[in-house]
Structure 1
Amino acid sequence: MQLLEALNYMGPNRRFDCTAIEMLLQFDSSELEVLRNHVGTLCEPLRKTLEVAGVELPDGFLAVPADTDAARALGGIFCQTCIALQRWAGHEVAQWQVLPGSGESQQRFIYQHEERSTAEKAGDTVMLLLVQQLPGLVWTSRTGIIDTDAAAMLRQFETLARPLAMPRDTLDIIAAARSLDVPCVRLERDPYQPLPGPQRIRANSLLMLGHSRHRQVVDGTICVTRSHQLLPLLHDRNSRLGTLQSMGLGNPVVSENGPIRSALLAAQKLVCIDGSEAFGDPRVSAHLEQIAQQFPCGLLLVTYVEERGERPVNVQDLDFAPRLDSLPLPGNEIRKRAAEAFIQWIFPAGTESRIPSIVVTGTNGKSTTTTMVDHIMRHHGLVTGVAYSSGVKINGVTTETGDLAGLMGHYRVFESPEPQVAILETARGGVAQRGFAFDWCDTAVCLNVDDDHIGLLGIDTVEQMAELKCSIVARARNTAVLNADDRHCRDMIKKIEARNVCLVSTQQDVQALRDQFPGIHHFCVTEHISNEDWLVFYQRQDRVPLVQTANIPATSRGRLTHNVINAAHAAAAALETGVPARQVASALRSFKLDADTLLGRWNELEGLPFKVIFDYAHNEHGMRHLVTALDQFEIGGTRRVAFAYTGDRGDETTRAAMRALKPGFDKFLVTEFEDLRGRNRHEMRDIVRAALIAVGVEGEDIEEFNSEDEAVKSGLHASRPGDLLVVLGGKLSMRRIWQQLCDYRDQFQDLI
């Protein structure tokens, strides 16, 4: 068996609404034959091995339909056993799935986890147990298992896994937050790291509840951000008792007539939920309100001692972070009610726990549209948090650089206390590998779906890519904004459960859209008004002309049609999130797409006698838009393009991109990126040259270079007045290449 791919979903994802491990396994023909002959004999000995070790097995365990494909049957046995082992160690998991890979020889084994290393150890242990009974199958441990004795492996797993299980109280708080629609992030699970130390209340229990300015941190059963003044008292019983005495509640009393043990056995513990008594002596109820007013905490355990007779009870101690799962409570209901009351104390009725969130996805245009939405929201006066392919920005200020158009960047925004609205670019790779940082969003935008990145991460067709993009848009609760001119986006409509769908089109008029989609009432289209093209927004019968497309600087007087499309989607997203139309129009009229705003998105370099454009077009779709845009400009001289192409693209994908690029240029300066993406040195450069020739470019019009810097330098030196040089930068080298262009411009100006 060969492990081709291992994915760790750190949040809700395309498979489940929970964290999970996904493994892509490939079997050769001999292994498939072994499975056909022996997989049916696996279940009974495996069951006995687990039962001897004390693993509790659920009803229906290892139920596999008789007609199941052999490799798929192995997947069912594997996943069910991984779930059983984790549950045995105290991890609350249940979901699993087996999906086909590419052909009979590949299968995807997917199973829920609560903590990653536990799940990986479970997978390793189960696979080693299975191959012991399957002659001809080999598995190499990924987690360092050396001992092959079944009992020893299971003991080793239990030793690792039990200390990593979440407390029952924490699971109840997570469940309560989910039922009350409060966002919850587990701060000791991926992508975060455990936080040990004496300041901690309870291991594996650290949570962030709420987003950004509403966020609160919980450790155990205490909200450390709301009850921080109580933290010093947690380990100082004398101070607690001193405070109680100052309140007139007395000191703990132990009868001198009996042993201390008898007095402690007579002590009672009282739990109050939402101000109502759960059980205990009603005579202490009057004390509880007084104690609760003195100590601001969401859960409080009061221990008191009662002597015989009518003498008042005496409070013995207080616990501001009680371990309810260690108390002899009758059933689970009280603990669950306590968790809900705790969440309601942190976020009382009418209190917000979320900030509005706008999610942007698509094959091309994501970063531009995200940046446009950010500009609109800040123009409207809101503090924004943006995660996109260039980093994270808080209210326009970059706080982190790098490609953060996914879960990691989204968490950065939700961690920040400033934002009033989150604008989250959401790229294919992050979702496919890690999942989501949110359970739902207010507004989601899908700009387009094209065949870029096909053949990676279980996405082998454009239709599967559309499914992945749809899994993002389907999380919108208020509005899904979809490109009506893209058939894959149109196909998403039937899967959307948001309150509204807003269709965007620059090719169809509103009546055509209404006729085609009678159930949809929100549209953003382009219309010709008084000899000018306008963006016009429709909400049922209301018609609102927004702005002339030529007056949006990012469209270069309407000539950059791809940015007209991006602006229309950004306007729709902002309008659907509550920004007034006047503010949207004003913001778009002031939005300039330069290198300071968004590097690599049609940045024009001024100050040279020839035209220089720096762009990030990196696939067929982007290159087609680039060439279409260039046709709107008068270029009298030679058109050159300096570029490289990504190494993980297939030959046909490369040819399609070169076919899109060919009509726009006379000369092609071909190089390769520093990151070869698994290719050999110069391999991708040679493939690009062959692709250009295959689509009709003459060999004499192609020059090859060893680096991006050399190709750009050659293009600059060769260009003459009236020429055009387009430089297509890679993500990793973008800033360096732009600086190279600026330095050349500065040197040129020093000479004149």
Structure 2
Amino acid sequence: MARSDELQDALVIPVPEDPGLILDSCRRLLGPNLYGVGPGAVGDCLVNSQEPADVVALWRGNLAPILDALGLAGAKVQTRPFDGGASLFVPAPIDQLFTTAYAIEAAWYFTATGLLGQAQKPFDDLATALRRVSALERQPRLVSLVAEAAKRGVDRLLDDDALTLGHGAGSETWATDRLPEAPDWARLHDIPLALVTGTNGKTTTTRLIAAMGAASGKVAGLSSTEFVKVGDEILDRGDYSGPAGARLLLRDKRLELGVLEVARGGILRRGLPVSRARVAVVTNVAADHLGQYGINTVPDLAQVKLSVRRAVVPGGQLVLNADAPVLVAAADLTDARPIWFSLDASTPQIVRARAQGVPCGWLEDGRVVLSDGAGATSLVAVGDVPLTLGGAARYNIENALAAALAARGLGLPDDAIRSVLRNFRSDPVDNPGRANEFSVNGARVFVDFAHNPHSIAAVTSALAALPARRRFALISHAGDRSDADIRALTQGLFALKPDTVVVAEITAYLRGRQTGEIPALIRQASRECGLPDDHILSATSPLDGAKQIVERLEPGDLALLLVHDERAAIFEMLGSRISS
């Protein structure tokens, strides 16, 4: 049995480098994914010199004899066309994922060289090399353990060199070269687990559900874009919204209830990190990070997010936002049976759910209402939920509804759910980076991590409803956004109706741009929104920009600091100036 680093370098296939025929990505999916419930490998091609459909048909045709040579002829290959190319997915056993990825690459090699009229290696030579990789990768004990776990209703977590069966307090982990003959199955079990995805709101919803678990007496934990946390201990900081965060969390034996924030990138690169969860939540879907892995449209993105449904166990719950039309449309195209939530009791999905006795949640007369399918419970007044800023932050009413339904799906009591909604705050302790409020010089200052048009529009619309004498805003962007994206993000800021905008450079996030390029685009967009030049200020960094705003604040003012860098320093600076 070979180690993963050996398998990664086991075979070099000389794929042609031609701008008209590009194998853009080839990767292993270890868990449920966009294409199905099982693991496999997927490749993405970009084609601009041929008819893409013809190229993909040839690619698939070249793959067939390769799979046959590897004993995988029965694999149900899927293709997913997109503008300018297509993805090709091959389901595979968990101990043949490297081999299958190489097979996809080899099929592309024969496709591209054939179309370009280039000399080709003999098929038999490549087939022999692929069979050698297959033999190196084969791990029958791994396959049998995972199959037995599935029969017993026990989840598995895979990475390149370790296997975990069960979750948290019910888990055991072994190196893949030291797998047991027969584990103690009586000790292995899953724990209540929720998956949370969406374009915006997923971090707040993840934190709320974990807090509800803790309030019910469980040792609760979460993985997220900020950190991995078990109980009160932060295991590590960083963006852990992918499979690495899930493994770090679910391998901690103290854990009794888990919540995984699941990002688009992780789903597309490696599939879902788990195959069994009691609840999955999709908060919303909006344009963000389009153009990667052939996901070019918002409906495409909705299907990626809905991949979480494939991990929900029988009797589990898929919680979806009925106020997101693209999500409603995408769900209609799947086998999903959602638990819907909405800010309007008359939304068709809510009306239908109540008539059919299906659980759901909605906002009615200023209160969060949940139905278990039999009766409705008026859970809490929105005015008593600090996250909602007295109801102005409607996006956080949605997050509260999603979290409350998910918590019920995990078996948590209403008292714990209600308590968290009444006490969880938008501050650096409970919800860092999400509309965190400070009082400085008699002014209200909000710090938020909003970074796409949907999230910026949500927070600025909420804060625009708050009274203010003057309004200030700090804005900056990373360089990997297009010019159009940066203009759209800036335009979204103007729902706040700012009197003064401070534009900050983020030198750590230039990402190929020249210094001053992003601020120039923001300044121009601000002028186009009607702000005079003398009300558009420049800052060398987010911290510098925050200081400039703070120095100008007077009682009755309001400031929104959109912060992507130096957040800890900005929190410290604001904390030292809090009004008594």
Is the structural similarity TM-score above 0.5? Answer: yes
Residue pair 1:83, 1:111 contacting (<8 A) in 2 also: no
1:97 aligned partner:
78
TM-superposed CA distance for 1:368, in Å, is 0.7
Residue pair 1:385, 1:413 contacting (<8 A) in 2 also: yes
Distance 1:220 1:648, change over 3 A: closer
TM-superposed CA distance for 1:621, in Å, is 1.6
Does the residue aligned with 2:460 lie in a helix, a strand or coil? helix
1:519 aligned partner:
356
Does the residue aligned with 1:556 lie in a helix, a strand or coil? helix
1:74 aligned partner:
58
1:2 aligned partner:
22
Tell me, yes or no, if structure 1 residue 486 matches structure 2 residue 324: yes
Find the partner of 1:111 among 81, 90, 114. Answer: 90
Cα distance in 1 for residues equivalent to 2:119 and 2:153: 46
Distance 1:463 1:542, change over 3 A: same
Distance 1:466 1:561, change over 3 A: same
Distance 1:623 1:28, change over 3 A: closer
1:588-629 per-position Cα deviation (integer Å, ceiling 9, x unaligned): 222122102221111112353432211111122212221222
1:52 aligned partner:
none
Letter in 2 for 1:411: R
Tell me, yes or no, if structure 1 residue 556 matches structure 2 residue 389: yes
Does the residue aligned with 1:634 lie in a helix, a strand or coil? coil
Q: Residues 442-521 of structure 1 correspond to what in structure 2 (within 5 A)? A: 442-477=278-313, 478-494=316-332, 501-509=338-346, 513-515=350-352, 518-519=355-356, 521=358
Find the partner of 2:439 among 596, 603, 606. Answer: 606
Does the residue aligned with 2:209 lie in a helix, a strand or coil? helix
Distance 1:628 1:489, change over 3 A: same
Cα distance in 2 for residues equivalent to 1:657 and 1:445: 26
Letter in 1 for 2:35: R
Find the partner of 2:551 among 713, 717, 734. Answer: 717
Does the residue aligned with 1:582 lie in a helix, a strand or coil? helix
Letter in 1 for 2:286: D
The size of the alignment, in residue pairs, is: 554
1:656 aligned partner:
488
1:592 aligned partner:
425
1:618 aligned partner:
451
1:176 aligned partner:
148
Cα distance in 2 for residues equivalent to 1:16 and 1:170: 21
Does the residue aligned with 1:557 lie in a helix, a strand or coil? helix
Cα distance in 2 for residues equivalent to 1:122 and 1:102: 24
1:377-429 per-position Cα deviation (integer Å, ceiling 9, x unaligned): 10000111211111111113210111111222112222111111111111222
1:636 aligned partner:
469
Distance 1:456 1:694, change over 3 A: farther
Letter in 1 for 2:218: L
Distance 1:366 1:640, change over 3 A: same
Distance 1:698 1:489, change over 3 A: same
Residue pair 1:75, 1:98 contacting (<8 A) in 2 also: no
1:378 aligned partner:
214
Gaps of 5+ in 1: 34-67, 140-147, 194-205, 225-320, 322-341
Q: Residues 395-410 of structure 1 correspond to what in structure 2 (within 5 A)? A: 395-410=231-246
* RMSD (Å) for aligned C-alpha atoms: 3.2
Cα distance in 2 for residues equivalent to 1:693 and 1:550: 37
Residue pair 2:27, 2:101 contacting (<8 A) in 1 also: no
Find the partner of 2:190 among 338, 342, 354. Answer: 354
Residue pair 1:86, 1:93 contacting (<8 A) in 2 also: no
Q: Residues 5-20 of structure 1 correspond to what in structure 2 (within 5 A)? A: 5-20=25-40
Find the partner of 2:271 among 408, 429, 435. Answer: 435
1:577 aligned partner:
410
1:13-32 per-position Cα deviation (integer Å, ceiling 9, x unaligned): 11233333333223443xx3
2:169 aligned partner:
213
2:541 aligned partner:
707
Letter in 1 for 2:523: R
Residue pair 2:539, 2:545 contacting (<8 A) in 1 also: yes
Letter in 2 for 1:17: V
Cα distance in 2 for residues equivalent to 1:451 and 1:667: 28
Residue pair 2:503, 2:519 contacting (<8 A) in 1 also: yes
Letter in 2 for 1:365: G
Letter in 2 for 1:216: E
Cα distance in 2 for residues equivalent to 1:395 and 1:642: 34
Residue pair 2:29, 2:271 contacting (<8 A) in 1 also: yes
Cα distance in 1 for residues equivalent to 2:519 and 2:202: 27
Residue pair 2:168, 2:249 contacting (<8 A) in 1 also: yes
1:249-308 per-position Cα deviation (integer Å, ceiling 9, x unaligned): xxxxxxxxxxxxxxxxxxxxxxxxxxxxxxxxxxxxxxxxxxxxxxxxxxxxxxxxxxxx
1:743 aligned partner:
573
Letter in 2 for 1:513: I
Higher relative contact order (CA 8 A, sep 6+): 2
Identity %: 24
Cα distance in 1 for residues equivalent to 2:205 and 2:411: 17
Residue pair 1:614, 1:738 contacting (<8 A) in 2 also: no
Cα distance in 2 for residues equivalent to 1:489 and 1:132: 41
Residue pair 2:195, 2:280 contacting (<8 A) in 1 also: yes
Q: Which has the larger radius of gyration?
A: 1
Question: TM-score, structure 2 length as denominator?
Answer: 0.85
Q: Residues 114-193 of structure 1 correspond to what in structure 2 (within 5 A)? A: 114-115=95-96, 117-129=98-110, 133-136=114-117, 153-167=126-140, 169-186=141-158, 191-193=159-161
Cα distance in 2 for residues equivalent to 1:27 and 1:192: 31
Cα distance in 1 for residues equivalent to 2:385 and 2:53: 57
1:61 aligned partner:
none
Distance 1:12 1:473, change over 3 A: closer
Does the residue aligned with 1:606 lie in a helix, a strand or coil? strand
Distance 1:705 1:177, change over 3 A: same
Residue pair 1:170, 1:221 contacting (<8 A) in 2 also: no
Question: TM-score, structure 1 length as denominator?
Answer: 0.67
Residue pair 1:79, 1:97 contacting (<8 A) in 2 also: no
Does the residue aligned with 2:323 lie in a helix, a strand or coil? coil
Distance 1:174 1:697, change over 3 A: same
Cα distance in 1 for residues equivalent to 2:458 and 2:262: 21
2:524 aligned partner:
690
Cα distance in 2 for residues equivalent to 1:511 and 1:385: 35
Distance 1:560 1:69, change over 3 A: closer
Does the residue aligned with 1:725 lie in a helix, a strand or coil? strand
TM-superposed CA distance for 1:208, in Å, is 2.5
1:673-720 per-position Cα deviation (integer Å, ceiling 9, x unaligned): 322344343333333333333344444432334432332232233334
Gaps of 5+ in 2: 1-20
Letter in 1 for 2:547: K
Letter in 2 for 1:375: A
TM-superposed CA distance for 1:632, in Å, is 3.1
Distance 1:671 1:222, change over 3 A: closer
Letter in 1 for 2:480: D
Distance 1:676 1:15, change over 3 A: farther
TM-superposed CA distance for 1:579, in Å, is 1.6
Residue pair 2:221, 2:259 contacting (<8 A) in 1 also: yes
Q: Residues 363-374 of structure 1 correspond to what in structure 2 (within 5 A)? A: 363-374=199-210
